[in-house]
Structure 1
Amino acid sequence: MIERLSATPEGIAAAAALLDAGGIAAFPTDTVYGIGCRAGDDAALARLFAAKRRPAEKQVPILAASLEQASALGYAVDDRVRALAARWWPGPLTLVLGAQEGAASRSQAFRVPDHPVALSLIERSGPLATSSANRSGEPETYDADDVLVAFADDDLLDAVVDGGRAPGGRASTVIDMSGPGARIVREGPITREQLAETVGRID
């Protein structure tokens, strides 16, 4: 049975403890509800993919509370990345960062969500590998009731933090900063022109 937790300090602490123990939880973000597990917990990530019925070879982004959390996982942060994060985080910008020694993959997408519940949870639990809280190919979820319906037929999702209705909106802009240049991977709310004001030329 999926545990429904309130978006209070006590509920967020309970969700963080569940994540620390290898669980997976859903929570609101600044677009839709997400489903996440501790970054680097391979067993929990496998459960997340199983819950979504999504191929395990597809990488998922990591939601962090700060650029320092991304760097601590072994990914490269340079002056361009710092400038982008200073201007657009928290917010609708996903940064793809290149690996340094000790990183789990050659590159990784990171974002800091602009939502108080998500940020509170990540600050307590650490960075979370996160995907949208829905079965692969099915509609996205916008509140805890949606999540409970979407994952009702198995026991892979442990809990949902009920933070009210997520605001919706466009998915984030994704920019690849893992190499010497900058490349737009996905258009979103932040335009190429706005990004170029910060990093200069974009391929």
Structure 2
Amino acid sequence: MVTAGAPEIARAAEVLRSGGLVAIPTETVYGLGADAENPAAVARVFAVKGRPASHPLILHLAGVEQLPEWVADVPPTARRLAERFWPGPLTLVLRRSGRVGLAVTGGLDTVAVRVPDHPVARALLSAFGGGVVAPSANRFGSVSPTTAEHVRAELGAEVDLILDGGPCQVGVESTIVDLTAEVPSVLRPGGATVEDLEAAIGGPVAVPATSRVRVPGQHPSHYAPRARVVLVAPDRVVAEALQAQRSGQRVGVLLPRPGPGLPAGADLVVRSVPASSAAYGQRLYGLLREFDEQDCDLIIASEPDRAGLGLAIANRLQRAAGPRP
């Protein structure tokens, strides 16, 4: 694990060119980066993560000017959204060009692409010059990493180089928007809010429960800590936690603000939900990891407000609470 200065970025670009894997800091989460045009490197990403080959990878570019090289066409809506949100936490699903291999897209004729907003990621992408696939740098289905230490603890020596760019500032993955149909659709809520997307487009976007286009983060159980997660109404958090504790479980509580009172001496692992949605998104995965570090069996969390970034936070908690394999 190295602090990312110019020599380290040059070294990381060489690792990518040689077919190696580099953990890359972005504004959303740390990604497990590989040369998108190296089939062996792409296959290694799937193997290290334990990720099904049918799950597409997101292609990361240094700038919007590279987009026409990787997609079959760039419709006006894509240009508008790219101008508004790139670099930033927005992924666009478009028709792939012949430059994008089917291993990257999970066999689909579409490709998910974005330009990240992190100085280290952008410097590396510029130095490398090509496209980099970079799913979250963790085991498939587990909590995404938002620090270099998270990557080291989970993947260790299976990554050739870990660039330390500090904690991620957004903390939840990018919003994925499908632009291959007449009406844009949000297939995964994330760091770019639906409200901001609609303002940029000047019209509605759909938020379907299911989609014919496969994208990352749609598995029923995802972003999951070892502890089981249960979502309840805010006014039920304490009661549910105490009931679970009486059954002998070690219970973690994501206490909403303003939070209901806890009885004196309650043996619970308590973390307060940050006051703003932006702060909550930034800290969410770290909080889930803290409950695992405290050996919790169960995490009781309240359903967040779904306005703005709250939609992405609710999505991550629902997936974390999903049925385990």
TM-score greater than 0.5 by the shorter chain: yes
Give the corresponding residue for 2:23: 26
Q: CA deviation at 1:53?
A: 1.2
Deviates more, 1:121-130 or 1:141-150: 141-150
5+ unaligned residues in a row in structure 1: which ranges? none
Aligned mates of 2:182, 2:164 — CA distance in 1: 41
**Does residue 89 of structure 2 align to residue 111 of structure 1?**
no
Give the corresponding residue for 2:84: 87
Count of paired positions: 198
> TM-score, normalised to structure 1's length?
0.88
CA contact (8 A) 1:48 1:156 kept: no
Q: Deviations over 1:113-163 (max 9, x none)?
A: 1110011111111221011111112222222222112113xx532111122
Residue 108 of structure 1 aligns to which amino acid in structure 2?
Answer: V
Aligned mates of 1:35, 1:100 — CA distance in 2: 23
Aligned mates of 2:147, 2:138 — CA distance in 1: 11
Give the corresponding residue for 1:9: 6
Aligned mates of 2:151, 2:99 — CA distance in 1: 35
Q: 1:186 aligns with which of 185, 188, 202?
A: 188
- Structure 1 residue matching 2:190: 3-state secondary structure: coil
Matches within 5 A, 1:118-197: 118-125=121-128, 126-152=130-156, 155-197=157-199
Q: Which has the higher contact order (CA 8 A, sep 6+)?
A: 1
Change (3 A) 1:101 1:26: closer
Q: Deviations over 1:160-200 (max 9, x none)?
A: 11222223433222111123432221223433343233333
Q: CA deviation at 1:51?
A: 0.8
5+ unaligned residues in a row in structure 2: which ranges? 103-108, 207-325
Aligned mates of 2:72, 2:195 — CA distance in 1: 26
- Structure 2 residue matching 1:56: 3-state secondary structure: coil
Q: Deviations over 1:17-68 (max 9, x none)?
A: 1101111110211022111101121110111111111112211111111122
Residue 76 of structure 2 aligns to which amino acid in structure 1?
Answer: D
Aligned mates of 1:168, 1:181 — CA distance in 2: 27
CA contact (8 A) 1:144 1:164 kept: yes
- Structure 1 residue matching 2:94: 3-state secondary structure: strand
Q: CA deviation at 1:92?
A: 1.6
Identity %: 38
Aligned mates of 1:184, 1:5 — CA distance in 2: 35
Specify the structure having the higher radius of gyration (Cα).
2
Give the corresponding residue for 1:60: 57
Aligned mates of 2:175, 2:154 — CA distance in 1: 26
